[in-house]
Structure 1
Amino acid sequence: MSRPAIAAGTPEFKRINRAMLFGGFSTFALLYCVQPLMPLFAHTFALTPAHSSWVLSSSTAALALAILVSSVVSDRFGRKPLMSAAMMAGGVLTLLCALAQDISQLLLLRAVLGLALGFMPAIAMAYLSEEIDPPSLGLCMGLYIGGSAFGGMVGRFAASVIGDFWGWRVALGAMGVAGLYAGFEFWRSLPASHNFRPGQGGLGNVVRNLRCHLADQGLPWLFALSFLLMGSFVSLYNYIGYRLLAEPYALRQSVVGAFSVLYLLGIFSSVWAGKLADRIGRRNVLWIVMIVMLAGLVMTLAPQLLLIGLGMALFTFGFFACHSVASSWVGRRARTAQALASALYLFFYYLGSSLVGSFSGVLWAHWGWGGVVGVLSAALALAFLIALRLRGLAPLEPVVPTVPP
């Protein structure tokens, strides 16, 4: 039986936020803990930077495909069981990655990890859209994304430090144990769905809902935005480490990993942007925080290490703010099949991570950091034009309940 949506300040709202913090933390910690280890993989397995990026890209590509499947499966079987199983499987697979004997085994296990974790992000967005009342959705989505930012920070930093002193196998083993604990806390804290209704109509219904979402005046632009933003974000963190490990900086692996502390800014900016968007509107926030992101990217061209760090900080702040606003906008814009709408947003999100993230490695090999910044600047300029177009998007008409005869 359905019940009134959960509002901010209630005990269930607090339980959901606790669970989603663990969920976002674990998903992104396990997914991105390999990013600062890419130079170690390149050394161990004799890989180029572009080839070593596939340790991450194999997971994000598989995750992008799994997200589409997860929306269909969860619409039939429910939200909480699939999310809990995905998180526990992620911990186990990360432990197995620590035992990989060659790059083929590692890539295969990371791809399976991506398939497992694909049953978390889109379902989480759909769960929140169904259970949380609209005025509180921006805050709750911001807290979930804040947990994701914290997980990405801790995963990268912890793996970098442990990998520097004890090797990448110990680093992945430690992350696997942390993932199992987070999965248990998620299962223990998250209330069961009350407003979920199993989907009907099978594949035909999915196709109809897909056409409905793609025909919407705003959703396809939000999907394109997710591709460009995430592709840019992952590319910067993929290759900035190679720049800082080389001369004239010659930083240690653990010091480079310490730049992940900048993710703390993402925790703040995602919650701040979500609350601001609830108050003044998403269309009035998105393009502003995107300018911050682009300004930070350009600042990383400076030779001074302090300015590079400041540029990364602005870039990170702007990215998580953009993601918080855009993802909650998808939840508000989709009138039906919210899990599928969230899945499409995240499909393009992680597809951008894989494709743009690997393509930027080719530019790094030929033109260095200037080549990476050039292609990412073009991607963000296109994203900015999309944000301006979304400013003129007509709001949806309010739903008028029908009265049965």
Structure 2
Amino acid sequence: MITSGSADFWRATLALCLGSFMIFANVYITQPLLPMLAQAFEVSALQAGWTFTVTTLTLGLSLLIWGPLSDALGRRWIMLLTMSGATLVTLLLSFTESYTGVLVLRAVQGMLLAGLPAIAIAWMGDEFERPAMLLAVGLYIGGNSLGGISGRLIGGFVGDWLGWSDAFKVMTLLSVVCLIIFALLLPVSKHFTPRPFKPRRMLADLGSHLRNPVLLLAYLVGGFNFFIFINQYSYITFVLADAPYNLPARVLGMLFLTYLAGTFGSAIAGKLGQKLPQPLCMAFGSLVLMGGSLLTLSEQLWLIVLGFLINSFGFFFAHSSASGWVSQNARHARASASSLYLLFYYTGASTGGFYLYPFWQWQGWTGVVFGSLLVLALTLTLSLALYRLQRRQPSVAVS
């Protein structure tokens, strides 16, 4: 087994972090490009947002496929194959001239991008000793957030400088570099033991998780919070690209640096979660999200940015608490329980734009905030319901 601090530890961890960076850079590259795509293809704000939502939807659904397949067929080659396919799709996107073609390719890309997130932590579980795995997972999650930020910055700066199609070409080049380093660094699996692929057992596990209110409430909190949080970014780009702000795509991409507040939020949640019940941490995160959303109603740009910094802190505070809760309270098939949480998470990302669009048409950004508060009030209520359930059931983990 790979131990902390060894050469193989750093090789494997760097490989998986770079792979994670590449995956999430590709997922989020279109978000700062939405106004540009809407203009180029003469589509509405909602339709432009599909370039992001269709990717997160197929990514979330595919997580439930790649994980069980890797248990039966092996992990390393599936990660390499799906990353290679996703890179090829990125290149094809740069030459696509129809909006339908962009959507189809982004849907296929989402399926391929799911390969590494579905498998990476399982690979660590096979090859790393437990202390090494805990350290590596923390670094790997850092790669997720840095990839998301970088993808948006690349989309914004390159799109504004050279156009949206060239943003995909630059992302292709970056993806090829990450893929080559990943293939060279990631050690060959030595402790993987294949297990039979049993779809019926997998479905039974998923069904039992969904019938467990201790898990289901956390799934709903995580999913509905992301349902609002990530799609607020999509709509605010249209606000800030228009008068009186008239911000170019490169500046819109920098708005996503507010995500860095989420890194701090996750760290704080981990510490407070050891002293306070995690459902109360989820409730606190929802309240912070509500406060940040209200602050964005200001017409002053710096207050809007501050509102998104607060939103990022609150969202990741709640997300870290909810995902940790699922891991602690799944009594069997923990991998499928975590995959199901991610399914709710990414389904929320892919559908929230549709929910917010009528509010956008009704009252613009004010309508978006109003629609957001309705859902965040729901996640606050669900968090408090989970806290009451925790107090009634002594068997539920107390953090």
**TM-score with structure 1 length normalisation?**
0.87
The alpha-carbon deviation at position 74 of structure 1 amounts to 2.0
Cα shift readout 1:281-311 (whole Å, capped 9, x = no counterpart) = 6446433333323221221111111110100
Q: How many angstroms apart in 2 are the aligned matches of 1:171 and 1:288?
A: 38
The alpha-carbon deviation at position 207 of structure 1 amounts to 2.3
Cα shift readout 1:26-81 (whole Å, capped 9, x = no counterpart) = 12110110111111111111101011111111212222221222232122123333
Residue 11 to residue 295, structure 1, CA distance change in 2 (3 Å): farther
Structure 2 residue 299 is the aligned partner of structure 1 residue 303? yes
Q: How many angstroms apart in 2 are the aligned matches of 1:307 and 1:338?
A: 41
Structure 2 residue 155 is the aligned partner of structure 1 residue 167? no
The alpha-carbon deviation at position 117 of structure 1 amounts to 0.9
Structure 2 residue 340 is the aligned partner of structure 1 residue 341? no
Q: How many angstroms apart in 2 are the aligned matches of 1:153 and 1:381?
A: 28
* Residue range with higher mean Cα deviation, 362-371 or 304-313: 362-371
Q: How many angstroms apart in 2 are the aligned matches of 1:196 and 1:298?
A: 49
Q: How many angstroms apart in 2 are the aligned matches of 1:341 and 1:232?
A: 23
Residue 376 to residue 14, structure 1, CA distance change in 2 (3 Å): farther
Report how many residues are paired.
Answer: 394
Which residue is equivalent to 2:78? 82
Of 50, 68, 72, the residue aligned with 1:72 is 68
Which residue is equivalent to 2:217? 221
Structure 2 residue 380 is the aligned partner of structure 1 residue 384? yes
Q: Give 1:37-116 correspondences, 5 Å limit.
A: 37-116=33-112
Cα shift readout 1:317-353 (whole Å, capped 9, x = no counterpart) = 2222332332233333334333322221111111111
Structure 2 residue 253 is the aligned partner of structure 1 residue 263? no
Give the AA of the match of 1:261: L
Residue 109 to residue 304, structure 1, CA distance change in 2 (3 Å): same
Q: How many angstroms apart in 1 are the aligned matches of 2:227 and 2:178?
A: 27
**TM-score with structure 2 length normalisation?**
0.88
* Residue range with higher mean Cα deviation, 255-264 or 90-99: 255-264
Cα shift readout 1:89-118 (whole Å, capped 9, x = no counterpart) = 222211110110111111111111011012
Cα shift readout 1:332-381 (whole Å, capped 9, x = no counterpart) = 33343333222211111111111112332332122201111112122222
Cα shift readout 1:113-147 (whole Å, capped 9, x = no counterpart) = 01101222232344456666777877654433322
Of 22, 26, 30, the residue aligned with 2:26 is 30
| Contact 1:146–1:270 (Cα < 8 Å) also in 2 | no
Residue 238 to residue 72, structure 1, CA distance change in 2 (3 Å): same
Which residue is equivalent to 2:309? 313
| Contact 2:69–2:197 (Cα < 8 Å) also in 1 | no
Residue 129 to residue 276, structure 1, CA distance change in 2 (3 Å): farther
Residue 320 to residue 17, structure 1, CA distance change in 2 (3 Å): farther
Alignment partner of 1:121: what SS?
A: helix
The unaligned stretches of length 5 or more in structure 1 are 399-405
* Residue range with higher mean Cα deviation, 358-367 or 191-200: 191-200
Residue 168 to residue 365, structure 1, CA distance change in 2 (3 Å): same
Give the AA of the match of 2:335: A
Q: Give 1:146-185 correspondences, 5 Å limit.
A: 146-185=142-181
Structure 2 residue 265 is the aligned partner of structure 1 residue 273? no
Give the AA of the match of 1:363: F
Which residue is equivalent to 1:324? 320
Give the AA of the match of 2:215: L
Give the AA of the match of 2:29: C
Of 375, 378, 387, the residue aligned with 2:371 is 375
Of 118, 137, 154, the residue aligned with 2:114 is 118
Instruction: State the percentage of identical aligned residues.
Output: 35
Residue 374 to residue 66, structure 1, CA distance change in 2 (3 Å): same
| Contact 2:329–2:396 (Cα < 8 Å) also in 1 | no
Residue 200 to residue 347, structure 1, CA distance change in 2 (3 Å): same
Q: Pairwise CA RMSD of aligned residues?
A: 2.8
Q: How many angstroms apart in 1 are the aligned matches of 2:132 and 2:313?
A: 22
Residue 136 to residue 388, structure 1, CA distance change in 2 (3 Å): farther
Q: How many angstroms apart in 2 are the aligned matches of 1:104 and 1:352?
A: 23
Residue 185 to residue 101, structure 1, CA distance change in 2 (3 Å): same
* Residue range with higher mean Cα deviation, 43-52 or 15-24: 15-24
The unaligned stretches of length 5 or more in structure 2 are none
Give the AA of the match of 2:146: F
Residue 21 to residue 389, structure 1, CA distance change in 2 (3 Å): farther
* Residue range with higher mean Cα deviation, 336-345 or 97-106: 336-345
Residue 98 to residue 389, structure 1, CA distance change in 2 (3 Å): same
Give the AA of the match of 1:333: N
The alpha-carbon deviation at position 13 of structure 1 amounts to 5.2
